[in-house]
A = this chain, B = another copy of it.
Amino acid sequence: MSAPKKVVLAYSGGLDTSIILKWLEIEYGCEVVTFTADLGQGEELEPARKKAELLGVKPENIHIEDLREEFVRDFVFPMFRANAQYEGLYLLGTSIARPLISKRLVELAAEHDADAVAHGATGKGNDQVRFELAAYALNPEIKVIAPWREWDLSSRTRLLEFAEAHQIPIAKDKRGEAPFSVDANLLHTSSEGKVLEDPAQPAPDYVYQRTVNPEDAPDTPEFIEITYEKGDPVALDGNPLTPAEMLTALNELGGKHGIGRLDLVEGRFVGMKSRGIYETPGGTIMLEAHRGIESITLDRGAAHLKDELMPKYAELIYNGFWFSPEREMLQALIDKSQEHVTGTVRLKLYKGMVQTVGRWSDHSLYSEEHVTFEDDAGAYDQKDAAGFIKINALRLKLLAARDRRVK
């Protein structure tokens, strides 16, 4: 790979990506364009602009964008249509944010005529894979620079020395090492590393950042109603909300009730197991609500097919293949299934739990007429069931007869 001439850097404004900014200039003698996105991580972005300016980035090379609506509408919601959970439990909060960042990096590279993009993910995690696969899928010619895999700043001391040597301001609280590492966006906060590295030990309370401890949550349940249209939530207690507004509101509700905490050991794409603490308050509510509305509006055949394909779909997102033909094929299948996933779900929020307690819809497939224990006025002929069972049993009988014969 020849040296890059101009690089678009995913820049948070923090110490690590500031060091990367400087290192790119020094190592490659290249011009750096910074990209800072608001994905709902809950931090002010304007300080990132000032920090970039301070480090000498040209104003026209500094990009700060609010991507919250796009993030939820085009990434989070499509994924939730699938009820995606990685390894049965994880709601993919980090995984789903990376492709959008890469998409904007590549688009900005085109605008700036830059030949490379750079990110601050390490060589041990999944995020490097997600950033890079997305970038290559969108521009096969792009160069991707992952300084953590390249440089020799392998200890905290070396990093701080580099920062000092290059006039990068170091916030006081960054002198010491953080006791764990955090990633956040509108969907979730994840924490991992250091104090969390022993999976036998419970996560300390101070790790949790956007949910209260269920013990500290309100002592009385709260009930809410979420309305869906074609698989996406569109109104809360009757009030229409945009995608990002919806997720923000559900995060608040979920956080208040201690909903969405997950302590998980998962299998990384790079082959090792790691332990993460995830907080996905709004997402946890959405998963339950979506299953609730699907339960009355989605046909059994459709639902079971979705369920069988969900693990594969979740794995693709986890592994960084959002922009791949197979993810898009599965999305086409999933979206096709959501045409009638429209209606309202009533949920109980209490002490870390969210539970569906009612659901209704004009699109409902639930037929009280058929299922009733009372007289069904001929809607269903129980004698049909006898034939149904006999025919289903036929191959089992033939098997049993064979087994008797040859044993």
Query: Please, how many angstroms separate the alpha-carbon atoms of A398 and B135 in the complex?
Result: 13
Contact of A261 among B139, B301, B355 (CB under 8 A): B355
- In the complex, what residues of B have CB within 8 A of residue A323's CB? 396
The residue in A305, A310, A381 that gathers the most chain B C-beta atoms within 10 A of its C-beta is: A305
Please tell me if the beta carbons of A133 and B392 are within 8 angstroms of each other in the complex: yes
- In the complex, what residues of B have CB within 8 A of residue A26's CB? none
Q: For the complex, is A111 an interface residue (Cβ under 8 Å from B)?
A: no
Interface residues of A in 7-55 (CB under 8 A from B): none
Q: For the complex, is A81 an interface residue (Cβ under 8 Å from B)?
A: no
Query: Please, how many angstroms separate the alpha-carbon atoms of A162 and B352 in the complex?
Result: 51
Q: For the complex, is A5 an interface residue (Cβ under 8 Å from B)?
A: no
Contact of A301 among B122, B358, B395 (CB under 8 A): B395
Contact of A305 among B149, B330, B388 (CB under 8 A): B330
Which of A59-67, A165-173, A191-199, A238-246 faces chain B?
A191-199
Q: For the complex, is A307 an interface residue (Cβ under 8 Å from B)?
A: yes
- In the complex, what residues of B have CB within 8 A of residue A306's CB? 329
- In the complex, what residues of B have CB within 8 A of residue A104's CB? none
Chain B minimum-CB-distance residue to A385: B123
- In the complex, what residues of B have CB within 8 A of residue A68's CB? none
The residue in A346, A351, A394 that gathers the most chain B C-beta atoms within 10 A of its C-beta is: A394
Please tell me if the beta carbons of A273 and B400 are within 8 angstroms of each other in the complex: no
Query: Please, how many angstroms separate the alpha-carbon atoms of A281 and B360 in the complex?
Result: 27
Can you tell how many copies of this chain the complex includes? 4
- In the complex, what residues of B have CB within 8 A of residue A265's CB? 295-296, 359, 366
Please tell me if the beta carbons of B386 and A384 are within 8 angstroms of each other in the complex: yes
Chain B minimum-CB-distance residue to A296: B265
Q: Mark contacts of A216-245 with chain B using CB atoms, 8 A cut-off: 1 yes-contact digit, 0 otherwise.
A: 000111000000000000000000000000
Please tell me if the beta carbons of B136 and A400 are within 8 angstroms of each other in the complex: yes
Which of A69-77, A182-190, A247-255, A369-377 faces chain B?
A369-377
Query: Please, how many angstroms separate the alpha-carbon atoms of A405 and B401 in the complex?
Result: 47
Q: Within the complex, what minimum Cβ distance (angstroms) separates A287 from chain B?
A: 9
- In the complex, what residues of B have CB within 8 A of residue A333's CB? 329-330, 332-333
**A interface list, Cβ under 8 A from B:** 83, 87-89, 122-124, 128-129, 132-133, 136-140, 146, 148-149, 154-155, 181, 193-194, 197-203, 214-215, 219-221, 261, 263-268, 270-275, 291, 295-296, 299-308, 310-312, 315, 320-321, 323-326, 328-330, 332-337, 340, 346, 350-353, 355-360, 362-368, 370-375, 380-406
Other than the known A124-B380, A304-B311, A362-B406, what 11 A-B pairs have Cβ atoms closer than 8 Å?
A87-B295, A123-B383, A124-B385, A199-B360, A202-B358, A263-B357, A265-B296, A267-B304, A308-B311, A329-B336, A365-B402
Q: What are 15 pairs between A and B in contact, CB < 8 Å?
A: A87-B304, A136-B393, A136-B400, A140-B400, A146-B386, A155-B375, A198-B368, A202-B357, A271-B398, A305-B312, A310-B311, A320-B392, A340-B406, A365-B402, A387-B388
